[in-house]
Amino acid sequence: MQERFQLKMDQFLPLRDVVFNTLRQAILTGELKPGERLMEIHLADQLGVSRTPIREAIRKLELEGLVTMIPRRGAEVAQITEKSMNDVLEVRRAVDALCVELACERITAEELERLGAACDAFAKEAMKPEKEKDVKLLAEKDVALHDIIVQATGNQRLIQLVNNLSEQMYRYRFEYLKDFSQHAKLVEEHRVIYESIVKKECETACEAAKLHIDNQKKAIIRQIRLEKEKK
Amino acid sequence: MQERFQLKMDQFLPLRDVVFNTLRQAILTGELKPGERLMEIHLADQLGVSRTPIREAIRKLELEGLVTMIPRRGAEVAQITEKSMNDVLEVRRAVDALCVELACERITAEELERLGAACDAFAKEAMKPEKEKDVKLLAEKDVALHDIIVQATGNQRLIQLVNNLSEQMYRYRFEYLKDFSQHAKLVEEHRVIYESIVKKECETACEAAKLHIDNQKKAIIRQIRLEKEKK
DNA sequence: CCGTTGCACATTGTATACAATCTACAATCT
DNA sequence: AGATTGTAGATTGTATACAATGTGCAACGG
């Protein structure tokens, strides 16, 4: 397994950031599995850099909650437990509601238009006959849609927070979207949120956002239990 | 200014973490002022360590939002603008409400007792005649009180988040508590929150928590504007 | 006098060297 | 045989060396 990771060289980003992004991606996609040790020399060799940028990247992953440090033993990929996921989702539920509320107040005409388009794009993909569906594409449309809302809040701190919380869910997003029976419901939920924002009905929008998270929560927790049983 | 910082040596903590805590404290107390550059060699000399632990500490401060990185120029203490503080408080308002809501559901009898005691302790300090008041002590009582509520949520992710958001406000907490005329109001707000939690009245408790933040917001924003004028 | 160029210095970015500690396994003792 | 300790190798923690880049100032030319 010589070439597990590929460094996407970016002339203008410090190596530590390139490494950070690379490792983060690897963790989120499951390439690096929970509990797996991150050993500096090995990573350095594989990525073709020295230990220094690796270490600095790990420091950032540590604060981001993607790895856990064990003194004198180094970093390992953080375990996902049902409890930790519950914690994340609990926070995410409140924070998403806030996003939608603020978006209601602050969204611009241009953003609103893009939001509508994003809704349509998601719906179009979700409503395709099963054989044509591309779950990866669907996930992207979903992210794009949520991103417009989050950006519309204009709150940098909030944007950063949501991104961090989302990370923890990415590893399960696929499983959740693979359940085709839920797709119609998702489209409908998005529609409600969109319509509420258009009409500036904060309350309705918030409730819809919370419901949206609640449904994802069910799917994710189910998935975690399944994986646990397999062991 | 040879001895600006003092490393509190802890036999069992890696140097990077000691440095991290030291720098963080220095930023929060205003010892390191917004816009001030953090130069690695100087810090290394002052703290008596090499650049490596300094750099790793800075990587963590970066993600924590306490310093801003400028490529090839290094780190500087993050500026506090009215906008950034507004962003923090907006998030904090929602998150604090969540804390109180969860605390309502989950607080144990023992924690509830400690919460009552903490309320009393704060009230006792706040109601002293002006000449005897110790603002630093008052601030500590305030933190202790809030900490009990946050811990009672049992949500690790939430606890970490609130701590991070609180950080940004610490630099202004003093100014806010120096306004003695507000002390009675604070005591009353705490009492409402405490009573609501006792009675498991989530709604009331949430509203009180939000009001509590709103009041702090006014004080902090006022302070920021004052400082801006001075320039 | 003003602008431009080039050089020296300061600082960050990266790599490597060395020290401290942990882990696992084997030799020894009971 | 089982426990204990010693030792070698692996790995992290820390320091330092070297490279790349930015910054400011001075010398030079227009």
Cα(A194)–Cα(A116) distance, rounded to whole angstroms? 7
| Model confidence at A201: pLDDT above 90 | yes
Say if the Cβ atoms of A157 and B91 lie within 8 Å. yes
Cα(A208)–Cα(A101) distance, rounded to whole angstroms? 11
Q: For residue A149, what pLDDT is reported? A: 98
| Model confidence at A22: pLDDT above 50 | yes
Q: Mind listing the pLDDT tens digit for each residue in B117-130?
A: 999 999 999 999 98
Decide: CB of B136 under 7 A of nucleic strand D.
Answer: no
Residue range(s) occupied by CATH 1.20.120.530 in chain A: 82-230
| Model confidence at B66: pLDDT above 80 | yes
Q: What is the mean pLDDT of the segment spanning B202-225?
A: 92
Give the pLDDT band (50/70/90) at residue B174: confident
- Find the range with the poorest average confidence among A48-57, A63-72, B8-17, B202-211: B8-17
The pair of three-digit structure tokens given for residue B231, joined into one six-digit string? 């320039």
Task: Count other Cβ atoms within 10 Å, centred on residue B185.
Answer: 14
Backbone phi and psi for residue B74, each to the nearest 5 degrees, phi listed first:
100, -165
Q: What is the mean pLDDT of the segment spanning B5-15?
A: 70
CATH architecture of residue range(s) B82-230: Up-down Bundle (1.20)
Give the pLDDT band (50/70/90) at residue A69: very high
Per DSSP bridges, beta strands A74-77 and A67-70 are antiparallel
Q: For residue B223, what pLDDT is reported? A: 85
Give the pLDDT band (50/70/90) at residue B231: low
Q: For residue A219, what pLDDT is reported? A: 86
If you average pLDDT over every residue of chain B, what do you get?
91
Mark the nucleotides of strand C covered by protein, meaning any atom under 7 Å from a CB.
11-17, 21-23
Specify burial of residue B27 (Cβ count, 10 A radius: 0-12, 13-18, 19+): buried
For A100, how many CA atoms within 13 A lie in the half-sphere containing its CB?
A: 32
Q: Smallest Cα–Cα separation from A172: which of A80, A75, A58, A51?
A: A80
Percent helix, percent strand, percent coil in chain A, to nearest 5 = 75, 5, 20
Cα(B120)–Cα(A56) distance, rounded to whole angstroms? 45
For B50, how many CA atoms within 13 A lie in the half-sphere containing its CB?
A: 2
Q: Mind listing the pLDDT tens digit for each residue in A135-163?
A: 889 989 999 999 999 999 999 999 999 99
| Model confidence at B41: pLDDT above 60 | yes
Q: Smallest Cα–Cα separation from A37: which of A67, A15, A64?
A: A67
| Model confidence at B45: pLDDT above 60 | yes
Task: Count other Cβ atoms within 10 Å, centred on residue A152.
Answer: 23
Domain A15-77 has CATH 3.40.190.10: no
**At A225, is the secondary structure helix, strand, or coil?**
helix
Say if the Cβ atoms of B60 and A64 lie within 8 Å. no
- The answer to whether B120 contacts chain A (CB < 8 Å) is no
The pair of three-digit structure tokens given for residue B203, joined into one six-digit string? 């709604």
- Find the range with the poorest average confidence among A96-100, B148-152, B173-177: B173-177
Q: Answer for the pair B160, B151: CB distance below 8 angstroms, yes or no.
A: no
Calculate what percentage of chain B has a pLDDT beyond 70. Answer: 95
Q: What is the mean pLDDT of the segment spanning B74-85?
A: 92
Q: Straight-line distance from CA A75 to C1' D2, in Å?
A: 34
Q: Answer for the pair B101, B205: CB distance below 8 angstroms, yes or no.
A: yes
Say if the Cβ atoms of A60 and B65 lie within 8 Å. no
Q: What is the mean pLDDT of the segment spanning B25-51?
A: 92
Strands across the sheet with B67-70, in order? B37-38, B74-77, B67-70
Say if the Cβ atoms of B59 and A56 lie within 8 Å. yes
Interface test with B, best of A21, A59, A72, A104 (most B CBs within 10 A): A59
B40: closest CA of chain A, how far (Å): 14
Q: Smallest Cα–Cα separation from B59: which of A151, A55, A111, A200?
A: A55
Cα(A13)–Cα(A19) distance, rounded to whole angstroms? 10
| Residue B212 falls in which region: left (phi positive, over 0), alpha (psi -120 to 50) or beta | alpha
DSSP string, B148-160: HHHHHT--HHHHH
Q: Residue type for B7, please? A: L
A192: closest CA of chain B, how far (Å): 22
Q: Is the pTM of this model over 0.85?
A: yes
Residue range(s) occupied by CATH 1.10.10.10 in chain A: 15-77
Q: For residue B182, what pLDDT is reported? A: 86
Give the pLDDT band (50/70/90) at residue A1: very low
- The answer to whether A98 contacts chain B (CB < 8 Å) is yes
Radius of gyration, alpha carbons of chain A: 19
Radius of gyration, alpha carbons of chain B: 19
Cα(A197)–Cα(A202) distance, rounded to whole angstroms? 7
Q: Straight-line distance from CA A158 to C1' C28, in Å?
A: 63
| Model confidence at B51: pLDDT above 50 | yes
The pair of three-digit structure tokens given for residue B124, joined into one six-digit string? 């006792």
Q: For residue B5, what pLDDT is reported? A: 66
Say if the Cβ atoms of A64 and B63 lie within 8 Å. yes
Q: For residue A158, what pLDDT is reported? A: 97
Angle A208-A210-A214 from CA coordinates, rounded to 5°:
115
Cα(B86)–Cα(B60) distance, rounded to whole angstroms? 23
Alpha carbon of B128 to those of B138, B180, B184, B191: distances in Å? 11, 10, 11, 17
Alpha carbon of B214 to those of B149, B189, B220, B221: distances in Å? 18, 12, 10, 11
Q: What is the mean pLDDT of the segment spanning B212-216?
A: 93
Alpha helices in A48-201 (DSSP H): 51-64, 82-106, 109-126, 135-152, 156-178, 183-198
- Find the range with the poorest average confidence among A146-155, B8-17, B54-63: B8-17
| Model confidence at B179: pLDDT above 50 | yes
Decide: CB of B52 under 7 A of nucleic strand D.
Answer: yes
